[in-house]
């Protein structure tokens, strides 16, 4: 009888141990599979964020159309400039091209020559009919009057060059840093573009093309006839602190 009781006790203990061990394994498995690792998720969501801080020009190439390569690295900024009495078109562009996401340029907008046909450019380019822009300059006097621009203000143009063509305009103060962003999402498989300055949405347009068209990122200063009333009488410049591409 004692042997039977002892045998039953050992058997019961083994059963209880087995059940307890199984419960612990299930709890451990459940906690790993159902509780997300937030730090890992954060790493995944930001792993493709690209920031160019302009300590160098790695991953950029020259895209100047007219004139010399008028740019250099200046204390962690890209200093880009054009000369007076020229139609310099100074540009750099990213080597890689991108699609949906948010593109941001941090740009210092200085005083620019009164009436000068000069434009600070932060833009996305595939070809002449698939281009999205910020362009900042003094502007023609007629446009300044229509926007009631003050003497210390410049005009920023936010445009899609075609497909469809659309331009938004706003005055901004000179002598300040600005965060300029273009956000591209997809609506019915085509891009939907939003332009923001310092996190304020100032324009939005549904485009009629999608991710078949990838964009290179550009930083530029160009002497362009539509941006003023005469060939520049002064040297003009701009500073780019960084460019960022966030695909999320």
CA distance linking residue 37 with residue 1, whole number of Å: 55
Cis peptide before 168 (omega within 30 of 0): no
The architecture that CATH gives domain 51-246 is Sandwich (2.60)
Write b or e for each residue in 134-166: b if 16 or more Cβ atoms lie within 10 A of its Cβ, otherwise e. Answer: bbbbbbbeebbeeeebeeebbbbbbbbbebeeb
- pLDDT given at position 47: 55
- pLDDT given at position 140: 97
**Among residues 157, 159, 152, 98, which one has the least CA distance to residue 132?**
159
User: In 35-185, which ranges are continuous DSSP H helix?
Assistant: 38-46, 141-146
- pLDDT given at position 121: 98
DSSP state of 217: E
DSSP state of 117: -
Cα angle, residue 237 at apex, residues 231 and 241 outer, rounded to 5°: 150
**Cα distances (Å, whole numbers) of residue 39 to 33, 123, 181:** 15, 33, 27
Three-class SS state of 53: coil
Domain ranges of the chain: 2-35, 51-246
Element (H, E) at 203: strand 200-206
pLDDT by residue for the chain (248 residues), tens digit each? 444 433 334 333 333 333 333 332 222 222 222 223 323 322 233 458 999 999 999 999 999 999 999 999 999 999 999 999 999 999 999 999 999 999 999 999 999 999 999 999 999 999 999 999 999 999 999 999 999 999 999 999 999 999 999 999 999 999 999 999 999 999 999 999 999 999 999 999 999 999 999 999 999 999 999 999 999 999 999 999 999 999 99
| DSSP labels, 7-52 | HHHHHHHHHHHHHHHHHHHHHHHHHHHHS--HHHHHHHHHTT-EEE
CA distance linking residue 80 with residue 108, whole number of Å: 11
- pLDDT given at position 22: 32
């Amino acid at each position: 009888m004692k042997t039977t009781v002892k045998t039953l006790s050992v058997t019961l203990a083994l059963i209880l141990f087995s059940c307890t061990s199984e419960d612990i394994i299930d709890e451990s498995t459940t906690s790993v599979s159902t509780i997300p690792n937030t730090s890992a998720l954060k790493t995944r969501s930001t792993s493709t964020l690209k920031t160019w801080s302009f300590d160098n020009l790695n991953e950029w190439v020259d895209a100047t159309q007219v004139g010399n390569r008028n740019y250099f690295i200046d204390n962690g900024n890209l200093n880009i400039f054009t000369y007076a009495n020229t139609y310099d078109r100074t540009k750099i562009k990213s080597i890689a091209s991108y699609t949906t996401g948010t593109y941001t340029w941090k740009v210092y907008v200085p005083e620019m020559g009164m009436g000068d046909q000069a434009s600070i450019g932060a833009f996305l380019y595939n070809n002449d009919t698939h281009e999205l822009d910020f362009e900042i300059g003094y502007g023609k006097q007629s446009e300044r009057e229509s926007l009631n621009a003050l003497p210390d203000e410049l005009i920023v143009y936010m445009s899609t060059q075609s497909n469809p063509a659309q331009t938004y305009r706003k005055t901004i103060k000179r002598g300040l840093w600005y965060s300029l962003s273009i956000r591209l999402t997809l609506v019915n498989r085509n891009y939907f573009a939003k332009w923001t300055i310092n996190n304020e949405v100032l324009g939005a347009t549904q485009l009629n093309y999608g991710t078949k068209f990838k964009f290179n990122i550009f930083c530029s200063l160009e002497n362009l006839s539509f941006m003023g009333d005469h060939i520049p009488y002064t040297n003009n410049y701009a500073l780019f602190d960084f460019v960022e591409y966030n695909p999320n």
